[in-house]
Chain A
Amino acid sequence: MEFSFSSKYPFTSEAKQKVEGSSLELNDEIMERAVQRVVAALQGKVWKPVYLHPSDDLIDLGSYAAARMMLAHLRNRFLTNKFAVAEAKRAYKLMCEDSEENLGKLGRELGITPQEFEGKLALPVYQYASFSPRSVDYRLIFRNVKGGFVEVTRHEVIRLMEEAVKGRMESYKPLQNPPQIIRDYSKKLMVLVPKEAVLKMSFREGDNPPCIEKLLEGAKEHQNLNHQARLVLAIYLLARNVPVEKVQAIFSNLPDYEEKKTKYQLDHMIRRGYSMASCATLLSYGLCVADCRIGTPLRWKGKVEPWKKGNGSSS
């Protein structure tokens, strides 16, 4: 016996229907498994459930749903992205060994429908461009393109499907009024998650408000940021728990960087606990570049607390 299509690919509409049509209820067994599933993702492991009894199929499917609910409740971008990567990798492994029939079914669900064009396996350009991984090998310019199609191999189709799965799981709707069991296990999950992991943050574009992105870009380009700009950037990064060494490394890009002086100033800021300037202050500094309406840059994408109407000005 093996897991059903729905359990193998729990992000599909078929899986969703199966859960909705079943009498499955969130219980401790499912929640425990959901927590394990997220923790495994954080550790970079691929979730490998054991199939012992037919009921395992539905329980495993339920654990996925419960994990997603916890992530939607926690609204933690780091955890969500780690989970998306792990689940997409899991799907990739399963797809590599799966039947053509299941691959076709999954492809249609994900919007990836390879077909034969002039005797070659090919994907429509718009599908290829939407899901191709960001690596040189997949750049459209190096590919064989004709008549609206891009030539691909079976393995490349699966790789694109993995990207599609990841993209699907990176987005979620915030969960309004989650059941108590989700709240309780979310707390348990956060206890199990290594603290430093949660504090990790990437500096991909879009992770920070436009004003901070602009300052980071300026630092990267060795621009001579003015005093206020440096102060704002440093306080923001420290408030986002970026290690002081990394902050120092960012400032080392500035043309008049002095290691000792910068270290002293950063230590001084930490000791004195400088607070983040408001968007209104940034506006007066001439550092505000967009109408984000978040009050302070630290509220970007609800990272600290959701923006409340009438609470502050733009960034």
Chain B
Amino acid sequence: MEERERQFVLKRFSEHYRKADIRVPSVEQREFGIGGFDRKIEARHMEFGSDAALQNYLIRDTPLYISHSVAYYKFPKATPMENKGWMGGDLIFDLDVHAGLFLSREEQEKVRADALKLADDFLASDFGIKKQYMRMVFSGNRGYHIHVRDPAYRMLGGDARREISDYISGKGLNYRSFFPLSENKWRPEGPKESDWGYRGKLCRAVIKAINEDPSRIHRRLKKMEEAGLLKRGIKDGNWGSTSIKDIVDRIEPVAKDLPVQCIDVDTGVTIDTKRLIRVPNTLHGSTGLVAKELRSLDDFEPYRDATAFGAEPVKIVALQEIPSQEFLNSTMEKMEKGEGREAPLSYAMYLVLKGAARLS
């Protein structure tokens, strides 16, 4: 990106921060890190005494990225890390999908559905975390962050967080172990609908599949009588109630869908107690979209609801082929490589920051 474009981007970012409302819970106990055009974290060990001080910094010095620690520290700017005085940390979950230049409608749905599943079926239902402790945030790029500030989970170490992360992502899960082996392939005993944990989840998911899409398991389940037999059996753990002998094999696709698949476990976001995570309601330096805190994921569309710069027309030139895309409630036409065009500022900013276009 040329210097002229960098200045353009940062000027617009600064203008945005003048009217933004940035609030970080316990801001004075957080470490902050900033990033620029080369790296998402270029400097860390920063601290701000108040939300106002943070916002002033964003207006005045305007980093491309800003993140805060999941941890609370006595001395946030102290180095090395051991001197900060760790006082616990939020539990953070990062969900995203690998996408091209834009998230497709299907990808948006997939990651949104997984975020809802994580919040409802795992955090609330399994871990007993109340909604008041959950903060749902669009990541500003390809997914969502869920910040959990339940005091009960605050002091968990890395290993304990890994257990929770593994549970949610289904790492090492083998649903067949829920069915005790017998000499026959006929396995009458299995999990019950009222069971806790994955056992109960499996039962409920199978019953749901029978109700909504029985052929996913076996076409014989389209018959009311057969479906009823199996559903009644599952309530008591009697999986042998059906005439489908290989029922345990047949439910594999349903079992595979039980964990949260979009959770990013490889990068250790949940496990790392000293991790930096994007400050909610700040701009994402790779998209120019707001990492927006959301009351509800229903009807949220990132390319409509997380834009920050409006529709003021700006001339851009495509550096690659850009597919047609819904943005700001309008259809942005496909652009060929080298093609110049006027585009709404939010869309232009997105393309420039993605390296797909330059300012004309």
Contacts and interface: CB of A to CB of B under 8 A. Distances in A.
Contacts of A142: 177
Interface in A109-145: 124-126, 129-130, 132, 134, 139-145
A140 B128 contact: no
15 contacts: A125-B126, A125-B127, A126-B156, A126-B160, A129-B156, A130-B157, A132-B163, A139-B163, A140-B167, A141-B163, A143-B197, A144-B196, A144-B199, A145-B167, A147-B126
A141 B129 contact: no
A147 B155 CA distance: 19
A146 interface: yes
B287 to A, nearest CB: 31
B32 interface: no
Given A124-B152, A130-B156, A147 B128 contact: yes
Interface string B274-288: 000000000000000
B261 to A, nearest CB: 15
Contacts of A126: 152-153, 155-156, 160
Contact of A146 (B80, B126, B163): B126
Interface string B142-168: 000000000011011101110110110
B60 interface: no
Contacts of A151: 196
Listed residue (A124, A143, A145, A149) with the most chain B CB atoms within 10 angstroms of its CB: A145
B320 interface: no
B253 to A, nearest CB: 19
A291 interface: yes
A141 B198 contact: yes
A77 interface: no
Given A142-B177, A143-B197, A291-B80, A149 B167 contact: no
A293 interface: yes
Interface of A: 124-126, 129-130, 132, 134, 139-149, 151, 291-293
A141 B172 contact: yes
Interface residues of B, number: 29
B80 to A, nearest CB: 6
Contacts of B153: 126
Nearest to B150: A126
Nearest to A292: B80
B172 A139 contact: yes
A141 B152 contact: no
Contacts of A291: 80
Given A140-B164, A140-B167, 5 more contacts: A125-B126, A125-B164, A146-B125, A147-B128, A148-B127
A129 B126 contact: no
A123 B357 CA distance: 55
B320 to A, nearest CB: 35
A1 to B, nearest CB: 39
Contacts of A144: 195-197, 199
Listed residue (B157, B172, B197, B198) with the most chain A CB atoms within 10 angstroms of its CB: B197
B166 A130 contact: no
A141 B157 contact: no
Contact residues of A: prevailing secondary structure: mixed
Nearest to A291: B80
A164 to B, nearest CB: 12
A129 B197 contact: no
A146 B173 CA distance: 17
Given A129-B163, A129-B164, A291-B80, A141 B128 contact: no
A148 B196 CA distance: 11
Given A139-B163, A140-B167, A141-B167, A147 B172 contact: no
A149 B173 CA distance: 19
Contacts of A293: 80
B128 A148 contact: yes
Contacts of B196: 144-146, 151
Given A125-B128, A129-B156, A130-B157, A145 B163 contact: no
Nearest to A111: B155
A145 B171 contact: no
A126 B80 CA distance: 28
A144 B202 CA distance: 12
B268 interface: no
Contacts of A129: 156, 159-161, 163-164
A132 B156 CA distance: 12
A151 B196 CA distance: 8
Contacts of B152: 124, 126, 148
B170 interface: yes
Nearest to B168: A141
Contacts of A143: 197
Interface string B66-107: 000000000000001000000000000000000000000000
Contact of A130 (B129, B160, B167, B199): B160
